[in-house]
């Protein structure tokens, strides 16, 4: 299955964000703006589309920062993702875990609580397992993907489990 332009942009944005946060002392918000500028220069997305992808990536990282176990061995990560982490590309996993750790620290410093995020069909997300809010059907993604309607009931709202 070929990746659509939004999934590709999501992955590219995560890579640029990872580099911006790894090489500097920027906050998550500042690093995200830098990453968005880089995507905007090379891609074919509108500013609104980039903002939508950026919001999805920020949501996923904040959700992970709140929910990932601090002790991240293979078994605990597989439990959090709800599938074998060997199925995730190495860069995607490394970048995601690094960003989640840095975001966890940033949120702790600010004294904020990460929100419980709702996911909608059509949005792009990181790998993980989701349950349909309408019928409870689980769907899993092994790579960044665009969330479809529920294959069982055509529901459009999901929760990461």
Residue 158 β-bridge partners: 119, 132
141 and 97 share a domain?
no
pLDDT digits 0-9 by tens, 125-160: 888 889 999 999 999 988 889 999 999 999 999 988
Q: Which domain holds residue 42?
A: 5-110
133 and 154 share a domain?
yes
| pLDDT of 109 above 60 | no
18 and 69 share a domain?
yes
127 and 52 share a domain?
no
Angle between helices 5-23 and 28-42 (to 10 degrees): 130
Residue 146 β-bridge partners: 124
Across the chain, mean pLDDT equals 78
pLDDT digits 0-9 by tens, 51-93: 999 998 888 887 777 666 666 666 666 665 665 556 555 656 6
Q: How far apart are CA 152 and CA 91, in angstroms?
A: 32
138 and 90 share a domain?
no
129 and 106 share a domain?
no
29 and 75 share a domain?
yes
| pLDDT of 114 above 50 | no
Higher pLDDT, 23 or 99: 99
Give 79-82 contacts, CB < 8 A, sequence gap 24+: 81/127, 81/128, 81/129, 82/128, 82/129, 82/138, 82/140, 82/161
126 and 104 share a domain?
no
What's the structural domain count of the chain? 2
Q: How far apart are CA 72 and CA 127, in angstroms?
A: 16
Confidence of residue 120 (pLDDT cuts 50, 70, 90): very high
87 and 49 share a domain?
yes
123 and 76 share a domain?
no
Q: Measuring CA to CA, which residue among 108, 110, 99 is closest to residue 17? A: 99
88 and 59 share a domain?
yes
135 and 89 share a domain?
no
Is the Cα dihedral 93, 95, 101, 107 positive or negative? negative
Residue 27 DSSP class: -
């Amino acid at each position: 299955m070929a990746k659509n332009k939004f999934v590709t942009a999501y992955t590219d944005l995560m890579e640029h964000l990872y580099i911006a946060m790894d090489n500097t002392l920027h906050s998550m918000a500042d690093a995200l703006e830098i990453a968005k500028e880089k995507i905007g220069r090379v891609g074919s997305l509108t500013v609104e589309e980039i903002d939508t992808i950026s919001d999805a990536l920020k949501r996923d990282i904040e959700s992970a920062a709140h929910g990932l176990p601090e002790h991240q061995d293979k078994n605990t990560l597989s439990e959090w993702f709800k599938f074998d982490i060997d199925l995730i590309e190495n860069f995607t996993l490394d970048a995601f875990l690094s960003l989640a750790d840095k975001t966890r620290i940033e949120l702790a410093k600010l004294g904020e609580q990460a929100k419980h995020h709702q996911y909608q069909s059509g949005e792009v997300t990181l790998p993980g397992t989701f349950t349909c809010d309408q019928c409870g059907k689980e769907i899993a993604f092994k790579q960044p993907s665009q969330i479809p309607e529920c294959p069982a009931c055509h529901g459009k709202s999901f929760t990461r489990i």
